[in-house]
């Protein structure tokens, strides 16, 4: 991964460091607050509390980039954070220090047909020669090749087989598990075995990092 450093901070929270710039994705309530220490920016994919936690955001003074649905939640429940928010739209691209960012996708995966669809936008990051994609709670790829995919492995809105096929479709050489606080240790063992088996057969690497571990 070259000069890009990736650190997992629980569930879907991932910290990316490159050339003196630190970007944190989805530091929600199931992740560690220290994930945001010294961050230059925080990206939030959607409004669910396992991805968005106002107290975690208050633990740093970093700018917050997110979609309008999350900005509405911040205006209503955490107005002290409003001045730090920049609303981004799907397809929009910008830079944070030496890291390029593009917003990808509009909708959360279907949780149940009778529930409303939530908005969700993933983020494609480019740091030097390396690219990384965080889909949030969706199984929609960025439409371009990536080096590292942050792949959901367990959720009320997906089967393990769907996660495997999502990762296969993206085709990233390195796949790092996210959204892994839903299953028990035993269930995660089954999921890890399936991801490892099928992605490994395609020559793709799969890893599920412990909290605080780096790639």
Q: CATH number of the domain at 166, please.
A: 3.60.15.10
Which tokens in the block code for residue 117? 């669809």
Task: Give the pLDDT of residue 1.
Answer: 44
The per-residue DSSP string of 30-72 comes to TS-GGGGTT-SEEEE--SSTTT--HHHHHTS---EEE-HHHHH
172 falls within a domain = yes
213 falls within a domain = no
Domain that holds residue 144: 5-207
Average pLDDT of span 165-189: 97
Structurally, the chain folds into a number of domains equal to 1
212 falls within a domain = no
- Give the mean pLDDT of the chain: 96
* pLDDT confidence band for 3 (50 / 70 / 90): confident
214 falls within a domain = no
135 falls within a domain = yes
Average pLDDT of span 26-31: 97
Is residue 47 scored above 70 in pLDDT? yes
pLDDT, tens digit (0-9, with 9 covering 90-100), for 195-206: 999 999 999 999
134 falls within a domain = yes
pLDDT, tens digit (0-9, with 9 covering 90-100), for 90-118: 999 999 999 999 999 998 999 999 999 99
In whole angstroms, what is the distance from residue 179 CA to residue 186 CA?
16
Task: Give the pLDDT of residue 215.
Answer: 87
Average pLDDT of span 122-130: 96
Average pLDDT of span 45-70: 97
How many CA atoms lie within 13 Å of 47's alpha carbon, on the beta-carbon side?
17
158 falls within a domain = yes
67 falls within a domain = yes
């Amino acid at each position: 991964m070259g000069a890009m450093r990736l650190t997992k901070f629980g569930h879907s929270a991932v910290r990316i460091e490159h050339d003196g710039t630190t970007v944190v994705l989805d530091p929600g309530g199931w992740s560690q607050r220290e994930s945001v220490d010294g961050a230059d920016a925080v990206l939030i994919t959607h409004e669910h509390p396992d991805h968005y936690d106002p107290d975690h955001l208050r633990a740093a003074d970093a700018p917050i980039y997110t979609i309008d649905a999350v900005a509405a939640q911040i205006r209503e429940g955490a107005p002290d954070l409003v001045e730090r928010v920049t609303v981004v739209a799907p397809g929009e691209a910008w830079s944070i220090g030496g890291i390029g960012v593009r917003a990808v996708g509009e909708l959360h995966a279907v949780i149940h047909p009778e529930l409303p669809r939530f908005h969700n936008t993933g983020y494609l990051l480019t740091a030097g020669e390396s690219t990384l994609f965080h889909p949030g709670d969706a199984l929609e790829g960025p439409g371009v090749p990536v080096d590292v995919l942050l792949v959901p492995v367990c959720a009320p809105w997906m089967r393990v087989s769907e996660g495997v096929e999502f990762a296969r479709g993206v085709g990233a050489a390195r796949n790092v598990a996210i959204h892994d606080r839903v299953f028990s240790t035993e269930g995660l063992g089954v999921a890890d075995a399936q991801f490892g088996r099928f992605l490994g057969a395609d020559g793709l690497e799969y890893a599920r990092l412990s909290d605080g571990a780096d790639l």
